[in-house]
Structure 1
Amino acid sequence: MNPESLYPFLSTEQGETGSVVADVRASTEEKAAEIVALRESLVDLHGERLVRCARQMAACFQGGGRLFGFGNGGSSTDARQIQELHVSPPPRGRPLPAISLPHDVATVTALSNDVSFDVVFARQLAALAVAGDIAVGLSTSGGSENLLRAFEEANRRRMMTVGFTGYDGGRMAQAGTIDHLFIVPSSSVHRIQEAQTTLYHVLWELTQQALRGRL
C-alpha cells in the first residue's frame, strides 16, 4: 500500500500539502531547539543542587531508606519511571528500593472516594514511610494540593524531600517543605516534562556515582 494513501499530508507535491509539511517541519525544528536550549540552561541553574541532592539521596539509601514517588497525570507516569529506574536500573546500576504511589490504584481510588483526592499521597506516606526515606513529587504547575499535603506529611515524618516543578515553582516554591526543589523555567507543559525527565535521570546517575564514592 502506498503510504501517501494513508498519510496524504506527507506528500512532497507542491501546493497546500507541501505548505503543511513545511509548517510541520518548522514547528518540529523550533520545539527541538527550544528543549535543547532549556536542557542546557539547567546545568548552570541546577548543577550544584543536583550534586547536593544526589549525595543526600545516596546517604538515605545507604541507611536503608526507600524512595516514594508521586504526581498526577503525566507526572504520575514520571513517578513510575523513577521507580523503574531505581528498582530495575540499566546495566552496572545498583538496584534501589522505590515505590510509585499513584500506581497503587486500589488505595488511590479508596482514599479519593472515601476521604479526599487531596490526601491520596499524604495518607500513603503516613502508612508506609519512616524517617530517612525519600519523598519525590513531580508537578508542572507546582500547585497540586495533594503534592503539597504529601510534602507536609513527609516533613512530619522527617523524610528527605525532592520536588520537580515548572513555571516559577508555584506553591511548591513557597511551601518551605521541600529540601531540594528543581524548577524548570518554562510555561510550556511539554517542555517542562521533557526537561524534568532529563533532571531526574541525571539525579539518578549522580546518586549512583555517590553510592560508589565517586561524587
Structure 2
Amino acid sequence: MSGIETLYPFLYEGGSDLGPVLAEVRRSTEAKAAEIVELRESMAEGAADELVACARRVAAAVTGGGRLFAFGNGGSCTDAQDLAQLCMRPPAGARPVPATCLTGDVAALTALSNDVGFEVVFARQLAAFGRRGDVAVGFSTSGGSANVLRAFEEASRAGMATVGFAGYGGGGMAEPGMVDHLFTVPSASVHRIQEAQTTVYHVLWELLQRALGGRL
C-alpha cells in the first residue's frame, strides 16, 4: 500500500464496497448531531435565568451609553467578531448596539504582542478604550486563555460588566470574582463547545433586544 492509499486505507481495505465506511460516517454524524442538540437543550435549561439577568445588565449598560467589547483567540475570535457584527449591524427591525471586537486591529495586536506580550493584547486595549459602564465579553473554550483572563481583570478594575463563555469546567473564568456572568458548556470537545456557545450568545442577543425594548 502506498501513496494516497496510505492516507485513506479505509477506502481501499474493502475494495469497492464503501457500504461499511458510509454506515460508520452516518453513525458518527448522527451521534455528533444528537450530542450538540443535547448540549444546547441542557444549556437552555440550566442557563435560562443567568441569560435573562445578563441581558438586562447589558441592556442597562447600553442604555447608559456603554459599549460592548468582545474578544477571544482562534475560533473564539470568530465568535467574538460575529457577536460584535451582530450587535453593530443587526437584522432589520432590531436595535443596533455599539460594539467592537478587539481582534480587528492587526497593528495593535502585533505591536502589543511584540513589544509587551501576547497575554496583554486585550487587556491593554480595554485599558485604553474601555470605561466604567461598558461590557467586556470574552470567549475561551478552555476558560483558561491567559489573555482573556487578563482582559477580565482589567475590565473589572475599570468598572465594566464582564461576560464569559467557556467550556469544560469553566477554567479560570469559573474562579470567584473573575466574571459577572459565566456560561459554561459542559463538554470536553472543542467543536461541541463552540457550537453550543454560538447558540448561547445568539440567544443572549435576542434577549438583549427584548430588554432594550422593555419586553424582558
TM-score in terms of structure 1 length: 0.92
Partner residue in 1 for 2:44 = 43
Distance in 1, Cα, partners of 2:82 & 2:176: 26
- Residue by residue over 1:119-177, the C-alpha shift from the partner in whole angstroms, topping out at 9 and shown as x without a partner, is 00000000001000000000000111101110000001000100000000011101522
2:143 maps to a residue whose letter is G
Distance in 2, Cα, partners of 1:119 & 1:175: 21
Question: Offset of 1:15 from its aligned partner?
Answer: 5.4
Partner residue in 1 for 2:93 = 92
Q: After superposition, where does 1:47-196 map in structure 2 within 5 Å?
A: 47-174=48-175, 176-196=177-197
Distance in 1, Cα, partners of 2:107 & 2:24: 45
Decide whether the 8 Å contact of 1:167 with 1:185 is kept in 2.
Answer: yes
1:191 maps to a residue whose letter is R
Decide whether the 8 Å contact of 1:49 with 1:180 is kept in 2.
Answer: yes
Partner residue in 2 for 1:32 = 33
Distance in 2, Cα, partners of 1:103 & 1:73: 13
Q: Secondary structure at the match of 2:142?
A: coil
Q: Secondary structure at the match of 1:197?
A: helix
Question: Offset of 1:20 from its aligned partner?
Answer: 1.2
Distance in 2, Cα, partners of 1:86 & 1:194: 19
Decide whether the 8 Å contact of 1:166 with 1:185 is kept in 2.
Answer: yes
1:184 maps to a residue whose letter is V
Question: Taking every aligned residue pair, what percent have the same amino acid on both sides?
Answer: 65
Distance in 2, Cα, partners of 1:28 & 1:177: 36
Distance in 2, Cα, partners of 1:213 & 1:155: 27
Please state which structure has a larger fraction of its residues in helix: 1
Count, aligned residues: 205
Question: Offset of 1:16 from its aligned partner?
Answer: 3.6
Partner residue in 2 for 1:4 = none
Partner residue in 2 for 1:23 = 24
Question: Offset of 1:191 from its aligned partner?
Answer: 0.4
Partner residue in 2 for 1:5 = none
What are structure 2's unaligned runs of at least 5 residues? 1-9
Q: Secondary structure at the match of 2:121?
A: helix
Distance in 1, Cα, partners of 2:170 & 2:136: 17
Distance in 1, Cα, partners of 2:80 & 2:17: 42
